[in-house]
Structure 1
């Protein structure tokens, strides 16, 4: 790792049009902050056991010189409070004194709080200090948490997601500053690809399960949005976080425990232009369990059979059935609450969510001739029909064992399927072609975690033991993928050119634990902002992954092609009687054979042990309040892969990476005042090769029709990360922020296209050096003046990114630079929200646009493939009809712009691929009781 260096040239890049607009909003926020409305705090106090109101409880606002006593209903209300954070002290004869810290009061609103006091008989303890339990499913609570955090980060809450048409966590994350979402499932943060991110679900690290894109990154389309409490994206590191992220640490937290028994039920239906009611491809292999995202077993590979015996045993399904595409629908139900068991608090939450969908895609693909490697022009009309199912469930619970002791259990399961039929017809050089694929893929993920928190000591000081242990399981299968291609020299006599049937399986098991021991001390026990903490932690994780692909094809002689079989339907061509033990001289029949090039398997094991020391120290310097959070993390990681390109070979190829990395991090926060923070962060991180990238086997990607080879010589990448952020919180649920960032990569891992006539060979390489830098701007503001706009709010965020990677052009042999693969140069999000609490009406207008980005790295600049920008506009209207009953109408992607990829010379690019898109309209009903 190199020494610290901040690029002075970064500032010169800030002259962007969006900067001026956001600066005006910043100025407006400062002026509006001068005259904020006051708020109120209403406190209701009960006995813990009987839940009877307590009369005459003394309540003091510490530091505000305000105090009083509860009335006959156990309630005391403080009015005319300035917006901000407060601390409460509650005392009552015969009961433990309790302190409440971290209470947020908003201008123009009444914050209501219910507190239970415990009698001396409950436990014999000193005064009890409790931080107010924040409901982190609201936007304001997340901003309050962000304000007090020691790192740079952003988040989106369940309340925000509910105001969008987003159906999965991947859909929702595109609203977060600095994030782009590829294919609805892969997250790019600040211009760096998904491989540089880490995803946690309820504190457990998870990776993706996708046969085609066997990679580290999590598939965010696997998590239904209505099971979420919030999703946060941490952009600077501390020693207690994983050391292998440099883009972002994405933390998914599922639904929270309500304070009282609550049940919610929701249903929705939707239709998409160009799909719903239109002609739609259906697979003749459909079964009665596909609605549960489970194959019915008819696609399974028969065991104990091979060659023609296997061919005759396989179902003969090559025809496409057409029908009208039905509407999409979804439903969800949840129930949770808190109760008392043997005098101890028990919280619980259970939820189930289900959704299905149908998508038809029409477009075209073309490749211009690459004369360097003897390429030919190719053009094809593309059509795909995709039916999807996604469902999941969770059950979480916790038990308080006594003062400062809590145990928790969380379980999360999600399952999905994708049934896609694709056809392409066109011209390749001087001949016509036609092909079709049938692809079924099912995936599931399961996470189980137990955790505990044990606090020892008095108010604001003592020792805290925080631990968890977990088990995770991921699975993907792709049974009986069928591919068939015809070459049509004579339209009256098509000739079958290629056929293939494959079966793929991917399994991953993950288990681990974490133990943190934190010592805390404070010079002000009533204020957590003055607490100094030192943490020592140990984490261990073991991951095993296995992948296998079997490919078979029907082989024939040239003599066979002269017969009229090519005029028959595929089901007649592949009839069982055509698979004979021998092929005679006239070509009567097929032989079913293993395709050794497209078959292969690998197994891998990954072990990680991490120890870390961390300090979080608030201090004063020159009469200014500062906070230092940082330390060092030591990671010892070992990867070992065994790979067989041919399942009939006994001796596998091997690959191994074994490294020890010392990773420092530091975050300095200048707390200018109660509304303003200035943050500076630096950390070192690594990026390790994945099993698939190391495994020296070939695998055919049937989405792109390219061959992917692993590279056993890959090295792990090292990254240095720098961050600077200024943030201003003018009021409740509002923020204005600006950030600068810079990342320096050594041995960055990227996928490249290698020289071939059709650019169809890909592998992974280390680029010697790369840089990524840019800025982020964000505004969330309530339009409280003039009065007619008080129910409106606006949100804007803009990210600008530059990146450079050093590489050698394989065409002219020159050393050059290009952008990082997948990096979007800019991302812009805007939202206008109307929320009238008197009428129960809400309207949300959302806009998103992503700049032109490098989709695939070619062997030279003119063979790179780029994804072009498109405008996306979403609308949502909600109406509260009665208590707990709400209707929502949404229109998603109403502009319906095509998805366009281009290639060729920068001055004269051509359309490489186009996919038509249509708007989706939905109606949903939610009832909560």
Structure 2
């Protein structure tokens, strides 16, 4: 943190001193109208004119020549200027009335040059007109080799969204999960991928493909692109879509923003029933200060106890654990956030010398503190009756209670970039720190008549803390080989990440309302504590080489390159539970008194001591690594007029190794399995791709594409790990465990993709499109309830039968001025995706389902695909008035009921219920030059619940998980210096 303070101080001094010394500047970006690409070497000439533009005060001056990004900077004295832009064989453009003030930058934005035609004269526009377009991104989309959508920095500035997650919800075809993750076309995380600056960057949840999007302020983002079809230069492990966040390297104008926000949820904040517990002094910074550290000596296989050491050692060891096992009531506070961003570009050398290198810098620091309190939480485990006449389900275990959460997220992003006319070098660093504290109290009911259940009533207090940290660096070089048509882009990005769950505590009294309250291993369990730790290192590198050439009098590109990704993860779980040396006696059965002195060994009452549940070697520890080497070649050309082909082939060699063992081996059995850096995945795959684009008109395309992609299991899925969720008591098992209906061999999912699309582009970002898509999944991976585990609730990732889906997608963005000119500032956008998916069941799944078939039920050997929503609806109505500095919008999103967990035999399927998310936002700028903005947002206006249910033939839905996020209100203030 100290280094960031030093860097911030230097940047503040630099920006202040440079601002004092500099003249004003005219900046802009020249792009080619036909394809949206930057124009290198375009000439910019300026004339100083009178304020009314009636006479030239100063003659023509050669202002600048554009660099490899098509950008230019012209330093000038304060005044009014006409700017002429020209390039050989292109139509010249003059921009009149460009006003410059001392020390300030007038950014003209994207200036489009059209190819020259003999009948056309030089075009003249005003500075105001040139600045209002967001046409470049739309042109890129129209000319893109694959199907894509996106949103640009120009749009961010127009609509006033503060973070990437707020802005990306305006992109058609995407939905936001959990307020921070982006999914495309209703496919879940396994089939959606997020990249940062074109590189694979793991998020704070290392088992997700998606990077959380609420950490990026829009002031630092150049654009966000959603690719819906695969091309050979992209990683092959996505199917629904890939979302790339591109950060700025050379800000168009000086950035210095400070923001502050507060949020209020009536059902959660200022609530005196809020549950928490005493943590460490640094919890507010997102990490533990050592309060929850593992006690000394706890790693030993035989920890000190009545039978493994002397009395003094045993007594000392039990007292080394934090004695707090109870959740506490406290009044909850509101959400709040802080943010700071700074950025600019500096001319190195004499400011008049445009050939000198430029230095760009960006820096952002953000802090978010969110509090959630769910006062009506439900978790349920339900079973089917064996009797075919009984269609209702019966409960095995239900938990009802309250849950409090406090989440702290600190994000820092900084970057430096050095650019000459044909070369650019960029260094970007990101640090994320996240800490979440959870405390819950639950009433547990267990039905002894259910299969595998003992029958009990219990009350449980649960205390948890999770801290994660991510450090990412990007080093990127771009080189244009002058007058050759060759471009080279290379990138190296290492990431160091950690995730720790220190001292998870669960304390559940059984039979609390009887004469014999107790802890019982066969009922709610003895008090337990868990320490989990994950350390992961990733390094991703790639190079892309492009040769631009002409074919059939049209632009063409030949592109090839390669990449290598290395990942290594070390994971460990340590488990300890309470044992009793004496008979239990709990006259006051409260979690607050369990570890009181009078109950600890060698006391004659209870005689509590801790027992290690960790063998040596530890079956819940593993080390895994991946090497993925890829090469690709692609060619984009127009063989006949208006018909473009983009053909490519990607090759990936993927090897995953694992070191770990099962419980049997750890216990000394010769029948156990032990892997030592053994290959668990080894594949060499070809991924062909073909994209065909026929331009019906300049603004209409017909697209068709075919590609092969892949989805691979995560480290934890391909392991022997058993990961317990202490609150729900649900267990995730690694797929290497074998069962009667599972051989332990989890493989990749290979997918064939076919896409068709018609798209129409109109002025000011308006568009319509109709798409159809088909996907075939070979060995899809889904989360399955393990039928053999009937005394506990356990799940496993497995390959299920082959799957397929057929979908249609309608997208529209339209201004409402076609109804009336009075509605010119209103825009409506919408996206409807409808999908029919099916899985051909394996014989094991089909037979298990048939075993519990009900009278009148006819079980088919096909079902819905897990993780695929049958429909997704996104809609929005927005109002944008740049003159008033007012932007407002109402947005709606819903996904259809989605199969989340595959149930078999005794257990029904679990479906995620539709969550109807309606939100409203309004942003208003104030003051001189609109430097102050205030935004107000309301989320979950319909007060919908997030729920998952067990479903079975002619049975009422039964709760699997139920949480009510409530309706939230937030206000934010942003000031630009």
Same fold (TM over 0.5): yes
Aligned to 2:635: 615
Kept in 1: contact 2:84–2:92 (CA 8 A): no
**Residues 220/824 of structure 1: CA separation in 2 closer, same or farther (3 Å cut):** same
Kept in 2: contact 1:84–1:105 (CA 8 A): no
- Cα distance in 2 for residues equivalent to 1:74 and 1:696: 66
**1:751 is matched with which residue: 758, 783, 788?**
783
- Cα distance in 2 for residues equivalent to 1:218 and 1:67: 43
Q: Give the 3-state SS of the residue equivalent to 1:784 in structure 2.
A: helix
- Cα distance in 2 for residues equivalent to 1:64 and 1:344: 27
Aligned to 1:447: 472
Aligned to 1:418: 436
Q: How far is 1:400 from its partner?
A: 1.6
* Deviation string, structure 1 residues 569-628 (Cα, Å, up to 9, x no partner): 3242223564437x98x85433433266996111011001111111111332xxx41221
Q: Does residue 354 of structure 1 match 2:367?
A: yes
Alignment of 1:683-762 (within 5 A): 683-712=707-736, 713-755=745-787, 756-757=789-790, 760-762=793-795
- Cα distance in 1 for residues equivalent to 2:717 and 2:823: 54
Aligned to 1:344: 357
Q: Give the 3-state SS of the residue equivalent to 1:590 in structure 2.
A: strand
- Cα distance in 2 for residues equivalent to 1:332 and 1:250: 24
Q: Does residue 905 of structure 1 match 2:952?
A: yes
- Cα distance in 2 for residues equivalent to 1:899 and 1:764: 23
**1:371 is matched with which residue: 357, 377, 385?**
385
Aligned to 1:522: 550
**Residues 482/185 of structure 1: CA separation in 2 closer, same or farther (3 Å cut):** farther
- Cα distance in 1 for residues equivalent to 2:259 and 2:174: 29
Give the gaps of 5 or more residues in structure 2: 1-43, 47-60, 65-72, 102-109, 117-121, 305-313, 350-355, 388-392, 448-454, 737-744, 852-858
Alignment of 1:152-167 (within 5 A): 152-157=147-152
**Residues 847/191 of structure 1: CA separation in 2 closer, same or farther (3 Å cut):** closer
Alignment of 1:25-424 (within 5 A): 47-48=63-64, 51-52=75-76, 59=85, 86-87=113-114, 110-112=129-131, 141-157=136-152, 169=164, 173-210=168-205, 215-220=207-212, 223-226=215-218, 228-255=221-248, 257-305=250-298, 306-307=303-304, 308=314, 309-342=316-349, 343-363=356-376, 364-372=378-386, 376-401=395-420, 403-424=421-442
Aligned to 1:774: 807
Q: Give the 3-state SS of the residue equivalent to 2:279 in structure 1.
A: coil
Q: Does residue 793 of structure 1 match 2:827?
A: yes
Coordinate RMSD, CA, aligned: 3.5
Tell which deviates more after alignment, 310-319 or 541-550: 310-319
TM-score by length of 2: 0.78
Aligned to 1:811: 849
Alignment of 1:417-816 (within 5 A): 417-429=435-447, 431-458=456-483, 461-488=484-511, 490-491=513-514, 493-497=516-520, 498=525, 499-522=527-550, 530-556=554-580, 560-561=583-584, 563-564=585-586, 567-575=588-596, 578-580=599-601, 588-594=607-613, 600-620=620-640, 624-645=641-662, 652-653=674-675, 656-712=680-736, 713-755=745-787, 756-757=789-790, 760-785=793-818, 786-807=820-841, 808-809=845-846, 810-812=848-850, 816=861
Q: How far is 1:906 from its partner?
A: 4.2
* Deviation string, structure 1 residues 256-280 (Cα, Å, up to 9, x no partner): 5322322111111110121111124
Kept in 1: contact 2:251–2:343 (CA 8 A): yes
- Cα distance in 1 for residues equivalent to 2:153 and 2:833: 23
- Cα distance in 1 for residues equivalent to 2:81 and 2:224: 41
**Residues 858/106 of structure 1: CA separation in 2 closer, same or farther (3 Å cut):** farther
- Cα distance in 1 for residues equivalent to 2:909 and 2:777: 21
Q: How far is 1:284 from its partner?
A: 3.4
- Cα distance in 2 for residues equivalent to 1:168 and 1:881: 20
Kept in 1: contact 2:224–2:243 (CA 8 A): yes
Q: How far is 1:55 from its partner?
A: 9.0
- Cα distance in 1 for residues equivalent to 2:294 and 2:831: 50
Kept in 2: contact 1:431–1:489 (CA 8 A): no
Aligned to 1:918: 966
Q: Does residue 868 of structure 1 match 2:913?
A: yes
- Cα distance in 2 for residues equivalent to 1:233 and 1:60: 33
Aligned to 1:134: none
**Residues 233/634 of structure 1: CA separation in 2 closer, same or farther (3 Å cut):** same
Q: How far is 1:721 from its partner?
A: 0.6
Q: How far is 1:193 from its partner?
A: 2.6
- Cα distance in 2 for residues equivalent to 1:695 and 1:191: 28
- Cα distance in 2 for residues equivalent to 1:197 and 1:239: 17
Kept in 2: contact 1:349–1:397 (CA 8 A): yes
- Cα distance in 2 for residues equivalent to 1:886 and 1:68: 33
Kept in 1: contact 2:480–2:488 (CA 8 A): yes
Kept in 2: contact 1:806–1:815 (CA 8 A): no
- Cα distance in 1 for residues equivalent to 2:135 and 2:933: 22
Give the gaps of 5 or more residues in structure 1: 1-41, 76-82, 90-102, 114-137
Q: How far is 1:696 from its partner?
A: 2.0
Kept in 2: contact 1:107–1:732 (CA 8 A): no
Q: Give the 3-state SS of the residue equivalent to 1:381 in structure 2.
A: strand
- Cα distance in 1 for residues equivalent to 2:403 and 2:383: 25
Q: How far is 1:422 from its partner?
A: 1.9
**Residues 297/66 of structure 1: CA separation in 2 closer, same or farther (3 Å cut):** closer
